[in-house]
Structures are given as structure tokens and as C-alpha cells.
Amino acid sequence: MKITVLGAGAWGSALAHHFQACGHDVTIWGRSPGPGPDGCTRITGEHLPAADFIICSVPAQTTRSVVAGFADQIAPTTGLIITSKGVERGTLALQSQVLAEVTPDNPVGVLTGPSFAVDVVANRPTGLTLACADPVQGRVWRDALAGNVIRTYYSPDIIGAQIGGAMKNVIAIACGIVAGRGLGASAQAAIMTRGFGEMSRLGLAMGAQIETLGGLSGLGDLALTCHSKSSRNFTYGFTLGEQGRAPQSGTFEGAKTAQAALELGAKYDVDLPFTKTTAALVEGRISVDDAIADVMTRPLKDEVE
């Protein structure tokens, strides 16, 4: 099959490497010239080749502008598979909703789950969710995108798959802050668990399935990103916790999504206290010490609240 990957960052390049190793004809697009993964064609500019699939792996806040720039070149039979994770600021749209506006005639899927680019490139086994509202189309894509390194599982829950991917980045920042400040593994586990509760409440309010939120795209991705410096969002939080200031360069999806996720919670009348604190930290409205004091002095409540 002919596959084009939009985005030549770590994850886009890792997926291009995987698809090429599976025998597909792979083109990878990036904003600037540079080498692509072995066997893949690297392109820049304003022209895309015809493809069976387009994998959207650009930063979530740029998905709309990048895909819109190519929209008139994309055939309606081309599948668009999203790997970007985040809530669009301003519109509060999930990535599938962005594509529904920009390319309304194309079938859309989401490829997500616990995965580090370095593991895929090193040929280490990785399990991912392929979510698509159409079960026939989704299972075709599931089979086409799997290989010896990546094992894909189909889900019809496109909303749940995206909420898991977006919220886990925000929670990973909070866990990184805890680790960077040296507050211990117990505090880190508590943040991850309560954060999962926030992810679940928001997802369910938006129509997600609890099985999805507890699966690869939700709990699985959360477990991976909340404990490792291979996670950019965890590292962002670790630096913020350790030094009191955030990194000044790099792509950190959770930092961009935190405030948008908080506003999405307000839209669905879902209380997201850890998301609220993380958004305030990321945007410099409170200090790390003030955030810790705020969390520890909140009124006590039942665990299910």
C-alpha cells in the first residue's frame, strides 16, 4: 500500500520506519528538508503523492492548518489516520473533529496507545488501538497497519481513544512535577490514579466507553507516560518540578492541551481538579509549591467523587 506520513518528528519517523519494514511504499512529509527513515521518500513543500492512507503525526495544534493545506489534493477514498494527541485550543475539538471539518469526505481513524518511538525503531513489541466508527473500515485498517513490531486492536470508540491520548499527556506533566520535586513514588501513583479518574469522567461524559478508557489508549498510555523520561510530557513536568520553570523549547502536547481540556470539562460539567492545577502551573499562574499546598489542603471527599 501507499502510505504518506505527515510529520517527520520522532513518532512520525518511527511509524514510517515500521510501515516501510512491512513492505509498504512510504513517503514522509516534513516542514524542512532532511533524511527520512531508510527506504522512505522524504518530501517537503505543498504537494502530496496519491496514497491509500495518510498518517497525521504533526503536533495537535497544527493539524488543522497542515491538513487544510493539502485538502484539495486528498482523494475522498484516502483514509486519514490520526496519531496526534490533544484538544485543539479555542475550538475544543478533538483531532477527528478537526479532520471532519477540513476533509469531510474522507474516512477517519485514530491510531493510539502506549508507544515510544525509540521502541518501535528498535523493533520492540508495541500494542496500539486502531479506533474507527465504521467497524468494517476499522478492521481493514487494523490489519493493514499491523506488523511484526506493532500489534493493532480495533475499537469503535473513536472518542474514548482520543480522550485517553489527550488527557494522559496532561496527567504525565503532573506526575513529572511530582517526580522532579522529589515527592516520592506514592504521590506519583496517587496523581496518576486520580488523573485516570478525571480522564474517565470526562470521557464518559462525552460518550466514550469505559472499556476504551481502561484499555491501551487510556490506562495503557497513561501508565507508560507517567513514569519515564522517554515521555516528553513527563520530562516537561520533571523540569518544572525540579527547576521551577518549564523547558523553553520542544513539542509538549500536554502543555498545549491542559487549558483546553479544562474548558472541555466545563463544557460537559465535569470537575477536573488536577487538570486545573496543571493548567495553572503550565501557564505560570501558580508556583509548584502553591500547587502542592492547594492539592493537600482541599476538602476531603469520598474516593468515588
Domain boundaries in the chain? 2-156, 159-296
At 120 the pLDDT is 96
Question: Residue 264's pLDDT is what?
Answer: 97
Residue 168 annotated as catalytic: yes
- 80-118 pLDDT tens trace: 999 999 999 999 999 999 999 999 999 999 999 999 999
Task: Over range 180-188, report the average pLDDT.
Answer: 95
Q: Give me the mean pLDDT over the 280-284 stretch.
A: 93
Alpha-carbon separation of residue 8 from 15, 37, 39, 100, 197 (angstroms): 10, 9, 14, 23, 33
Residues 283 and 258: their CA atoms lie apart, in Å, by 9
> Which H helix or E strand runs over 154?
strand 150-155
* pLDDT tier for residue 137 given thresholds of 50, 70 and 90: very high
Establish whether domains 2-156 and 159-296 are of one fold: no
Q: 143: how many CB neighbours lie within 10 A of its CB?
A: 11
Q: Which residue shows C-alpha cell 508507544?
A: 115
- pLDDT number for residue 170: 97
Q: Is the pLDDT of residue 247 over 90?
A: no
Cα dist. 146→21, 23, 153, 184 in Å?
Answer: 11, 11, 9, 38
**131 with 110: CB under 8 angstroms?**
yes
Grid cell 525503531 — which residue? Answer: 121
pTM over 0.75: yes
Mean pLDDT highest for which of 27-36, 234-243, 290-299?
Answer: 234-243
Q: Cβ atoms within 10 A of the Cβ of 46, count?
A: 8
**Beta-carbon contacts of residue 76 (< 8 Å; ≥ 6 apart):** 105, 106
Q: Of the listed 168, 267, 276, 301, which one is catalytic?
A: 168
Cα dihedral 41, 153, 202, 244 sign: negative
Q: State residue 305's pLDDT score.
A: 67
Question: Where does the pLDDT of residue 171 fall: very low under 50, low under 70, confident under 90, or very high at 90 and above?
Answer: very high
Pairing of strands 2-6, 79-82: unpaired
Kindly state the average pLDDT of the residues 58-71.
97
CATH of domain 2-156: 3.40.50.720
pLDDT in tens, 24-63: 999 999 998 888 898 999 999 989 999 999 999 999 999 9
pLDDT at 297 over 90: no
Contact 29, 47 (CB under 8 A): no
pLDDT at 304 over 80: no
CATH code at 159-296: 1.10.1040.10
Give the whole-angstrom CA distance, residue 12 versus residue 21.
14
